[in-house]
Amino acid sequence: MSSLKATLGILAASLMLSGCIQGATYEATNTQNFKPRDKELLAKVSYVKTPVPEAFRRAIVDYHRKEAPGSIVVDSDNHYLYLVQANGKAIRYGITVGEEAMAWSGIAKVGSKTEWPPWHPTPGEISRLGVPKFVAPGPDNPMGSRALYLYSGGKDTLFRIHGTNQPEYIGASISSGCIRLTNEDVIDLYDRVGLNTVVVVLEPKHGDSPFNSQMALQGGGNNVQ
């Protein structure tokens, strides 16, 4: 049922925003910059590479908030992650976020980074999902191609920004609390940020209103990086 609700939610959001992105220019990811291992493993995935709805494709957009350039801002309400740039711009990525009861908000830092990480499910995930205690790195691992581990007060929050083997849910609230990007987008983000990057995960109802999200999508000269 939650999967159906998520799919319907993505479709509704895409239809709502589709009339507001005519001025944006979206491009496919340049895989020429990927490492040989990335190309090898991405070619072996068994999941369907569902195209991301246009409203959630990576783009450079106008950014009106006051976070410092170089920081990451997660707007769970609207399913966007922003990497803040200078001069009032940000790189915006579509994301999957946690269901309301599993969501996390606060200020953290990137405490560590891993390429093609293994998955160590939490006891709650093991009990709820019936998954093993360990899943080795690979093309169909739920952690995807990259992971940024979020720390707060010097301690691991157990929340991550990572890839996904379910690209069809970009734009939905269906994860166990972590922030998922497509494998291609998380490689792009991973290459742009370093350790100790500040990550601001906005509280529910504190993200941009649908009006402001639509206005950002209308911003002139929006181009994928």
For the residues of 15-71, what is the DSSP string, one character each? HHHHTT-TT-B-----GGGS-HHHHHHHTT--S--PPPPGGGS-EEEE--S-PPTT-
- CATH classification at residue 93: 2.40.440.10
Instruction: Look at residue 55 and tell me if it is in a domain.
Output: yes
Query: Cα 188 to chain center, whole Å?
Result: 11
| 9 in a structural domain | yes
Amino acid, single-letter form, for residue 108: A
* Per-residue model confidence (pLDDT) at position 217: 37
pLDDT score for 130: 80
Which of 64, 120, 162, 206 is the catalytic position?
Answer: 162
Residue from 116, 166, 118, 144 nearest 7 by CA: 166
Q: What pLDDT does 10 receive?
A: 47
Please report, as a single letter, which amino acid is at residue 101: A
What is residue 25's predicted lDDT score, i.e. its pLDDT? 53
pTM flag (> 0.75): yes
Tell me the residue ranges of DSSP E strands in the chain. 59-62, 72-75, 80-84, 89-94, 97-98, 106-115, 146-152, 155-162, 173-175, 179-180, 198-201
pLDDT of residue 177: 76
Half-sphere exposure of 147 (CA within 13 A, CB side): 22
Strand order of the sheet with strand 89-94? 59-62, 89-94, 80-84, 72-75, 198-201, 106-115, 146-152, 155-162, 179-180
Tell whether 223 is covered by a domain. no
In a domain, 116, yes or no: yes
Regions of the chain where pLDDT drops below 50 = 1-2, 4-8, 10-23, 209-225
225 occurs within a structural domain: no
Position 205 in a domain: yes
Q: Name the residue range of residue 129's domain.
A: 2-218
20 counts as catalytic:
no
Write down the pLDDT at residue 225.
37
Q: What is the pLDDT of residues 155-165, one digit of tens each?
A: 999 899 999 99
Annotated active-site residue 64? The verdict is no
Would 136 be classed as within a structural domain? yes
Name the domain count of the chain: 1
In angstroms, rounded to a whole number, what is the distance separating the alpha carbons of residues 175 and 100?
10
Any domain includes 224: no
Of 20, 64, 120, 178, catalytic: 178
Residue 123 has a pLDDT of 85
